A and B are shown apart, each in its own frame.
Chain A
Amino acid sequence: MVEVIVSLTVSIILLTTFQTLIIQMIKINRSSESSFLASVYLRELIEVAKDLEKSDWSEITKAECLIPNKCYPKIESSEWKLFPTTTAETIRNNGYVYERWLSVENINASTSKVIAQITWKNVAGATSSSTLENYIYNY
């Protein structure tokens, strides 16, 4: 009887340990996936700002996008345009929902700071966020 109980206990411990490892592995993998895509979408906001820095300075520094206002980018007639938003742009990919926006802070007449932010819900349902800042110059 004792041998049976010991072998059962050992088997259950092994099963539980292995299952916990697998669940943790899945969680880490899902978290890595959502963080990777969030990083891609966040960096794109800075690239949009770098495009507008050269192609349309007035678009990136317009009042609707100045802090504390928020804007989201959209392509219109093969050009990036910024649109004011009270919330954020929503992107869905692989079951994740990302919300991103950018704001601009004028430093001086020819320099502005672009603040890009993205938020998304991680595997546990908690909200993660990431921010990037970059300077653009009107020269």
Chain B
Amino acid sequence: MISFLLRKKAGNRGFTIVEVLIAIAVSLIIVGALIEVTFQGLKYIRQVKSWERLQANANLVMDSTAYWVKQASRLETTGSKLEITLPDLSKKTIEKSGSRINFDGKPFTTGDVNVTALSFVPLAHSVRIAFTLQAPDTGRTLSVTTTVARRNDL
């Protein structure tokens, strides 16, 4: 039986069943590896994209907070709310609302990033800011703790 499967008839240029089976097995291995590598690649592309979103939002929060805190004549904090009093006595507020950070009541961070924590610690001439952002699609998080000092003497 086996010799029948391996034997080629004289003048027959076709493949034996064993050759076909080996070719199918090798093809399956290659296709499997391609699928695995492709899925891994897509997974990492999603991770990189979510990191870009997290970093962009973190920069937005830090830069905007720093912009107003540096001009502040007074800073008041209550948990996840920062109230900045400017030299003309007008006020700006930065606070956590749901899964977003609001600036003067309007959403500040983008909807594709969740804010899981935000806190402010008032210090002598600065404020310490800590926040955690999470990308809902990948679960990736970014925790940032930084300080911004006031620049005026009022």
Interface positions of A (Cβ within 8 A of B): 4, 8, 11, 14-15, 18-19, 21-22, 25-26, 29, 32-33, 36-37, 40-41, 43-44, 47-48, 50-56, 75, 78-80, 93-94
Contacts and interface: CB of A to CB of B under 8 A. Distances in A.
State the 4 A-B residue pairs at the shortest beta-carbon distance, nearest first: A55-B124, A50-B149, A51-B126, A51-B149
A131 B43 CA distance: 35
Nearest to A59: B124
By DSSP majority rule, is chain A's interface helix, strand, loop, or mixed? helix
20 contacts: A8-B26, A18-B37, A25-B48, A29-B47, A33-B51, A36-B58, A40-B144, A40-B145, A40-B146, A41-B146, A44-B146, A47-B126, A48-B126, A48-B147, A50-B125, A51-B126, A52-B125, A54-B150, A75-B121, A75-B128
B40 interface: yes
A35 B126 CA distance: 24
Contacts of B55: 32-33, 36
Contacts of A25: 44-45, 48
Query: Which has the most chain B C-beta neighbours within 10 Å: A8, A21, A40?
Result: A40
Contacts, number: 90
A78 to B, nearest CB: 6
Nearest to B153: A54
Query: Which has the most chain B C-beta neighbours within 10 Å: A29, A37, A47?
Result: A47
Contacts of A53: 125, 149
Interface of B: 23, 26, 30, 33-34, 37-38, 40-41, 44-45, 47-48, 51, 55, 58, 62, 121-126, 128, 142-151, 153
A111 B144 CA distance: 31
B127 to A, nearest CB: 9
A47 B147 contact: yes
Contacts of A78: 121-124
Contacts of A37: 144
